[in-house]
Amino acid sequence: FAVLKAPDIPSALFEMGYLSNAQDAKLLQSPAHRKKVAEAVMRAIDIYFDTHKF
């Protein structure tokens, strides 16, 4: 993916689902599901920075 090809900056791509998948599309319409996913991403980022000191 072009968004991850910038060599001068760290980057990450999070794919939470695909609108072309009926089950994913239904889940992505749910505010509760989106909140759950966002909180999981936040926890993962926190864990990363807690274990990789800069």
DSSP 18-34: -TTSHHHHHHHT-HHHH
> What tokens were used for 5?
């090809």
More confident residue, 47 or 2: 47
Q: What is the mean pLDDT of residues 31-52?
A: 96
- Specify the pTM: 0.74
Half-sphere exposure of 33 (CA within 13 A, CB side): 10
Domain ranges (residues) in the chain:
20-54
Predicted confidence (pLDDT) per residue in 5-34, tens digit: 777 878 888 999 999 999 999 999 999 999
Residue entry with tokens 């864990």:
47
